[in-house]
Amino acid sequence: MKRPFRIAVTGAAGSISNSLLFRLAAGEVFGTDQPIILQLIERSEAMEALRGLAMELEDCAFPLLHAVRLHDNPEDGFRNVHFAFLIGAKPRGPGMERADLLAANAEIFSRQGRALNDHANPDVKVLVVGNPANTNALIASRNAPDLSPSQFTAMSRLDHNRAKGMIANRTGFNTADIRKVAVWGNHSASQFPDVRNAEAMGEPIWPGLDHDWVDNTFIPRVQKRGAEIIDARGQSSAASAAQGAIDHMRDWYMGTPEGDFVSMCIVSDGSYGIAKGIVFSFPVRCRYGRYQIVQGLPIDDAAQKRLDATEKELLEEKDAVKHLLPAETEDAHNNLSVSLRSGANRYGEEDRDDDSEACVLRTDRVI
């Protein structure tokens, strides 16, 4: 029997977590032979609801679920965790400007970044779901000086899945047969869902698409899908957001399908001319518990304008919270290099040690 993974989930009594936790316990993320321990974190006033959720988890009798721990603070909740889903965030209230929302969440994610730095497993993988996710992930990462920026990501997989689903509906192909969809930029209405390189059954789909439909219907609809769901249901995406989180973490840990790539919000290393040090969604491949940006995709003038717009928004968000970004972590974020190496438990310095003369065997190069 494998040793259990410890998995932290914030906002654990919320609607996204209600869809996520049972699928984690069923083995849909880390495999049907991998036991887990859930460390669930909520606000003090939501702890009774969280206890009820824990009862339901117990009543499911999941063989892989070895323990459930309930916490009302991140310092205890992140202790020794291997994976962290940061779902809880302050929602935007009536009359609240985006800058106010950024400031309110900055305090939450600054504390969570410090708690992960001080208490989580050194190899922890972090996925930020709570919005504004990209900048929340940046804040958490910048407040974790002992962890690599490559350990912090935000979720654009929901947008990626939305784009894939709409293309499948438009073309009639099954989603399993559609590959190489990409989402660039911010998880906001400025994002750029890109199907210029997409394939169905191994053949390019771009020549067969109505480009006016792509520009005037498909892209705006993916960008504003969250608002469309709220208008229809009276509440925000939950099950689809949980699916996006599952897909993101599973592919990061297990690897992406051969011949395909997915979208992840990660700290930019300057690829495609994007400013270094912001959390930006790129097309990536994953293997050995790592990700690497897919290089060399063609970017035409129209696509470049969209990349510039979403980059500008993220730089403005970063500027709005710059007082909460410790200077000591700036250099690490502006000089990030991530490669696909085996050994999901190694980062930075340890990888460089493996390239020393003492290492006599390496068979883990992928790209």
Known binding-site positions for NAD(+): 11-17, 105, 112, 129-131
Lookup: tokens for 191: 């994002």
Q: If DSSP codes are grouped into helix, strand and coil, which group holds residue 334?
A: helix
Interior/surface letters 20-48, b for 16+ CB within 10 angstroms, e for the rest:
bbbebbebebbeeeebbbbbbbbeeebbe
Which value, in Å, is the radius of gyration of the alpha carbons in the chain?
20
192-194 and 203-204: which strand pairing?
Answer: unpaired
Taking the C-alpha atoms of residue 251 and residue 255, their distance in angstroms, rounded to an integer, is: 5
Q: How far apart are CA 3 and CA 76, in angstroms?
A: 20
CB 236 within 8 A of CB 229: yes
Annotated binding site for substrate: 92, 98, 131, 162
333 as an active site residue: the answer is: no
Angle at 215 between CA 209 and CA 218, to 5 degrees: 75
- Encoded amino acid at 112, one letter: Q
Please report, in range form, the residues annotated as the binding site.
11-17, 92, 98, 105, 112, 129-131, 162
CA distance 186 to 192: 8
Cβ neighbours around 123 below 10 Å, total: 16
60 phi-psi bin (left φ>0, alpha ψ -120 to 50, beta other): alpha
For the chain, the first-to-last Cα distance in angstroms comes to 33
Rounded-to-integer distance, Cα 267 and Cα 128, Å: 13
Catalytic residue among 71, 187, 248, 333: 187
Residue 148, token pair as written in the block = 């690599």
Nearest to 255 by CA among 284, 278, 230: 284
List, by residue number, the catalytic residues.
Answer: 187
